[in-house]
Amino acid sequence: MKKEEIKFFSLMSDTTFKYLFKNQKTRFFFDDLILYYTGIDISEFDLIDNEISSGNQLVSYQLDTLLVNKKKDFIINIELNRENEDYTELRNRRYLHTLAGTSKDSSYQDKRVVIQLNFNGFKSKNSRDISRETFQLHDIENDILLDDFIIYNVFIPKEINLCYNKDIKKKLELFQCTSYEEMKEVVENNKELMSIMDEIERLNKEKYFGGLYNAEEEHRKMEETARLYGIEEGKVIGIEEGKVIGIEEGKTIGLEEKSKEIAKKLLKENMSLEKISEITDLSIEELEKLSK
């Protein structure tokens, strides 16, 4: 009898994060991390996707990771970044600006507080010695440092080496694990961390969660393929507004063409049109034409 394959669910996955955050038995893991790096107690914060879910559970888990307080005037955006790409920082900052919005007047009143916490699975491009960095908006003309718009970057590989808090260090090491064997070595006899590992291992038996995780991985691979499509002989041809465009023998090859190629493969796997549309950004009408 063929042994059932055990799939590893990484902590660097938004799907895993949201599941563990919603689980009262494991939420402490993220509460502690956010308090340590931002000084904010999020015990009264909720995941905002509980309120804006489209009704499709699969889509619900793939919305952005936003934590909001009861008054809805304080938002924390958690980003789990695996790749060290230029577009990643640009995308995150643009998104933060969108969340923050604009104040109603020059006094910066009536503006929601937005904080972004980036857990990066790579070292800083600017300096390999940096384990953490913080950014805030500064009104140079009025010499005002805005406290309602802050970015915290945690570069996990470097932070692990420099962090003095043993509990936090252990949690960061779990983010870097790529197998359950590695997790067991990190967890050792720590009962709290053991509860995280046990819950992740238990998820292997849930086909629904596996589908969510696989969908996220497929979407990530599609984005990665699209980026690589604009690279020829190690040189990036062009990046414009997040769309990668490559040039081959005088012919422009766009992201849409690559999306169609991926969509055809997913259609053969009998994935729903709605899900393929979400992954590739192609319309249902376009997918129906491809399916024929």
**Structure confidence at residue 110 (pLDDT):** 53
**Is residue 71 a part of any domain in this protein?**
yes
Segment of 23-37, 105-119, 136-150, 201-215 carrying the highest mean pLDDT:
23-37
Q: Which of 144, 170, 205 is the last residue of a domain?
A: 205
134/248 same-domain check: no
Inform me whether the pLDDT recorded for 78 exceeds 70.
Answer: yes
Q: Which of 57, 7, 17, 53 is nearest to 214 (CA)?
A: 7
Q: Is 226 left (phi over 0), alpha (psi -120 to 50) or beta?
A: alpha
Long-range contacts of 23-26 (CB under 8 A, 24+ apart): 23/199, 25/195, 25/199, 26/195, 26/196, 26/199
27/162 same-domain check: yes
Strand 113-120 with 144-155, pairing: parallel
63/128 same-domain check: yes
Percent share of the chain, pLDDT over 70: 72
The pTM score is: 0.69
Question: Residue 105, SS3?
Answer: coil
168/240 same-domain check: no
Long-range contacts of 30-35 (CB under 8 A, 24+ apart): 30/78, 32/167, 32/168, 32/171, 33/119, 33/168, 33/171, 34/67, 34/76, 34/78, 34/117
**Is residue 212 a part of any domain in this protein?**
no
**Structure confidence at residue 226 (pLDDT):** 54
38/153 same-domain check: yes
Segment of 86-95, 134-143, 226-235 carrying the highest mean pLDDT:
134-143
**Is residue 2 a part of any domain in this protein?**
no
**8 Å CB contact between 282 and 276:** yes
**8 Å CB contact between 169 and 158:** no
**Is residue 221 a part of any domain in this protein?**
no
99/175 same-domain check: yes
**Is residue 242 a part of any domain in this protein?**
yes
150/276 same-domain check: no
Q: Which residue has the higher pLDDT, 170 or 100?
A: 170
pLDDT tens digits, 254-290: 456 667 777 787 787 777 787 777 667 778 888 888 8
**Is residue 169 a part of any domain in this protein?**
yes
189/233 same-domain check: no
156/278 same-domain check: no
Q: Which residue has the higher pLDDT, 131 or 126?
A: 131
40/158 same-domain check: yes
**Is residue 211 a part of any domain in this protein?**
no
The domain of 158 spans 14-205
Q: Which of 151, 173, 205 is the last residue of a domain?
A: 205
196: exposed, middle or buried (Cβ count in 10 Å: 0-12, 13-18, 19+): buried
173/61 same-domain check: yes
**8 Å CB contact between 290 and 260:** yes
Q: Which of 205, 237, 263 is the last residue of a domain?
A: 205
Q: Which of 256, 251, 260 is nearest to 232 (CA)?
A: 251
Structural domain count, the chain? 2
**Is residue 4 a part of any domain in this protein?**
no
52/129 same-domain check: yes
pLDDT tens digits, 188-225: 999 999 999 999 988 888 877 777 787 777 767 766 66
